[in-house]
Structure 1
């Protein structure tokens, strides 16, 4: 039950982060709650309705990943003095990034929950090949950097949500041997 509560509670700051105000704080709180859910999944025996947990975790994977990824870019942009290299500037080159990211997280989450980790590689290959022309012809190297950072943050978030929803067999085996 505590696992479901943690995952559902992580949706609260995610919704708050969608407004744009205090996005970095909202992402930090959501990340702490997701990390707590991962820890509970690793060290405790979990008995929860997998269907409900899966639905809540999938929403957290897609919506939360957007808030967390954007918050990471907010931090990067706040530290940058060159506004031509901002997330907004990169967004003019890589249009549709919000939708691509949401679909990427959904594909990564779905692949891992379905027990097909090769789907993650396929998703990343399709995304990379689809964006290759814009990244190759871009005059701004920061656009490629933001593409890589955004992809890694997004995939990591979706993978953690998938682990919380189902538990991966190798990590579950490690948990059993850890308990012994």
Structure 2
């Protein structure tokens, strides 16, 4: 006799590995060739992986855990950046100019009377520099914290990032970009980590 639960778990496990591998492959493509379509496909594959992981009645075979962890970390690292970029484009369009160090260019605080009156444009400065590298580190730490069963560490990650960026968040454009980009990046990393956490529970 067939054990339907075992059959269902086997199908869910296979679908989980395939969908997470697919999300990983598309995330790498989206990272190398940023396109909103690739991000949506990767998000769909990641959602399928989440559903498969939550459908398992027993933990996935221990031999698959390292593979799932590696795939989830790759999805988080490579997919998070284009996902955050897509969220920023949807929310803000192209209202800010990119800087040469990965940040954005905003007008400096007016210091002369002419600048205050709008007669002369205030010089521009680059803020939120190094966002790409910070985002990668943030997603590795977030995914790792969830996989390890210590989600409380996410509060520390957000606090460290917020303190580090505090002096740059005076301008509205910088604040909005920081909040939207951080939330999109964290949600993506949390979803990737949650796949492994649910599968190995």
- Give the TM-score taking structure 2 as reference length: 0.73
Deviations 1:137-163 (A, max 9, x none): xxx302111100111111111111111
2:87 alignment partner in structure 1 = 72
Unaligned runs of at least 5 residues, structure 2: 1-13, 107-124
Count of paired positions: 164
Unaligned runs of at least 5 residues, structure 1: 173-180
1:60 alignment partner in structure 2 = 75
* Contact 2:56/2:199 (8 A) holds in 1: no
Deviations 1:154-177 (A, max 9, x none): 1111111111012189xx6xxxxx
2:180 alignment partner in structure 1 = 149
* Contact 2:53/2:199 (8 A) holds in 1: no
Q: How does 1:10-89 map to 2 (within 5 A)?
A: 10-21=23-34, 23-45=35-57, 47-48=60-61, 49-78=64-93, 82-83=95-96, 88-89=104-105
Aligned pair 1:108/2:152, yes or no?
A: no
* Contact 1:61/1:109 (8 A) holds in 2: yes
Q: How does 1:121-136 map to 2 (within 5 A)?
A: 121-136=155-170
Q: What value does the CA root-mean-square deviation take over the aligned residues?
A: 2.5
Which protein has the larger Cα radius of gyration, Structure 1 or Structure 2? Answer: 2
* Contact 2:76/2:143 (8 A) holds in 1: yes
CA distance in 1, matches of 2:32, 2:90: 17
Question: 1 or 2, which has the higher strand percentage?
Answer: 2
CA distance in 2, matches of 1:3, 1:16: 20
2:154 alignment partner in structure 1 = 120
* Contact 2:26/2:41 (8 A) holds in 1: yes
Q: Equivalent residue of 1:92, what SS?
A: strand
CA distance in 2, matches of 1:143, 1:83: 9
The CA deviation at 1:88 is 4.1
Q: How does 1:138-177 map to 2 (within 5 A)?
A: 140-167=171-198
The CA deviation at 1:131 is 0.5
CA distance in 2, matches of 1:142, 1:85: 12
* Contact 2:145/2:154 (8 A) holds in 1: yes
* Contact 2:27/2:38 (8 A) holds in 1: yes
